[in-house]
Amino acid sequence: MAVYKDFASVYDIFMDNVDYDSWVDYIINIFKKENIEPKLVLELGCGTGNITERLAKKGYDMLGIDISAEMLSVAKQKAEKENLKNTLYILQDMTEFELYGTVSVVLCLCDSINYITEYEDLVKVFKLVNNYLDPNGLFIFDINTEHKFKNILGDNTFAYTEDNAAYIWQNYYDEKEKINEYYVNFFIGDQNGNYKRNTEYHYEKAYSVDEIKEALKTAGLVFEACYDAFSFEKHKKESERIYFLAREHGKKIGGETI
């Protein structure tokens, strides 16, 4: 079943409690800490453009890639409404994305990396990131931790309602396979007070810090740091989200590294 298909139309309603402004401030603080001024930033798994749009408003030239046409449709509508001329959205699978050139920074946020459930595909994504980063370019991404899947989400059921939409989210975590399954029933109301039911299944993989480091190394990227989310402190056993920073190690042209 397609991910974020019908759900795309109400995604922003259900995510209105997420402080995207603070997320963007944190990303910019990383830029400052790393002493970089990105010329072009790519966001993989950009969804409805909540991060991409805010960075574009800060003056960064942005590319957004997502596998969901429905999510990108919402993102494009918002970009047109805000007259964001410095933003381009592209419909692609991030496990096989293609660009015409390189970028200063690649972002992959909101646990999009966890949606890559096979280690080989994770390495594949990291290799593509390495290929399309400028020399010494920066890769910033986050993951949901196994602690969050196992102890926070677990085998629980969550419900949320708004004026014209609601969802019931049944969560299952397979400790052996390290796969977290979201089974979501959501209901969208129309002008007549009728509700349409839709169902989606989402799967996320729990990766350890060591697995992420090994995948980066295999892909030719240089691991730089990992932090407890929205801070520059070392991640803890109880961390629910971890941010990673990695660098492109230097591209070779004519046998010389640049």
pLDDT of residue 11 exceeding 70, the answer is no
pLDDT of residue 123 exceeding 60, the answer is yes
Which residue carries 């001329």 as its tokens?
85
Where residue 255 falls among pLDDT bands split at 50, 70, 90? very low
Residues 6+ apart with CB under 8 A from 210: none
Percentage with pLDDT > 90 across the chain: 76
- CATH number of the domain located at residue range(s) 6-144+206-257 in this protein: 3.40.50.150
Where residue 211 falls among pLDDT bands split at 50, 70, 90? very high
The tokens for 234 are: 């070392």
What CA–CA distance (Å, rounded) separates 172 from 159?
A: 15
CA–CA distances in Å: residue 121 to residues 74, 129, 174: 27, 12, 20
Where residue 136 falls among pLDDT bands split at 50, 70, 90? very high
Name the fold adopted by 148-205: N-terminal domain of TfIIb (2.20.25)
Could you tell me if 108 and 198 are in contact, meaning their C-beta atoms sit under 8 angstroms apart?
Answer: no
Name the nearest CA neighbour of 239 among 124, 152, 155: 152
Q: What is the DSSP letter of 108?
A: E
Could you tell me if 23 and 51 are in contact, meaning their C-beta atoms sit under 8 angstroms apart?
Answer: yes
Name the nearest CA neighbour of 165 among 145, 194, 125: 194
Where residue 253 falls among pLDDT bands split at 50, 70, 90? very low
Question: How would DSSP label each residue in 136-185?
Answer: EEEEEEEEE-HHIIIIIITT-EEEEE-SSEEEEEEEEEETTTTEEEEEEE
Residue 212 backbone dihedrals phi, psi, to 5 degrees: -65, -45
Domain with CATH 2.20.25.110 in the chain: 148-205
Q: Per residue in 66-77, pLDDT tens?
A: 999 988 999 999
Write the Ramachandran bin of 192: left for phi over 0, alpha for psi from -120 to 50, otherwise beta.
Answer: alpha
Q: What is the pLDDT of residue 13?
A: 59
Q: Per residue in 141-184, pLDDT tens?
A: 999 999 999 999 999 998 888 777 788 889 999 999 999 999 98
Residues 6+ apart with CB under 8 A from 52: 43, 46, 62, 64, 75, 87, 89
What CA–CA distance (Å, rounded) separates 155 from 173?
A: 6
What CA–CA distance (Å, rounded) separates 47 from 64?
A: 8
Percentage with pLDDT > 70 across the chain: 90
What CA–CA distance (Å, rounded) separates 70 from 85?
A: 21
What CA–CA distance (Å, rounded) separates 248 from 27?
A: 18
Q: What is the DSSP letter of 57?
A: H
pTM over 0.85: yes
What CA–CA distance (Å, rounded) separates 185 from 194?
A: 16
Domain with CATH 3.40.50.150 in the chain: 6-144+206-257
Mean pLDDT of the chain: 90
Tell which wins on pLDDT, 71 or 198: 71
Where residue 134 falls among pLDDT bands split at 50, 70, 90? very high
What CA–CA distance (Å, rounded) separates 16 from 73?
A: 18
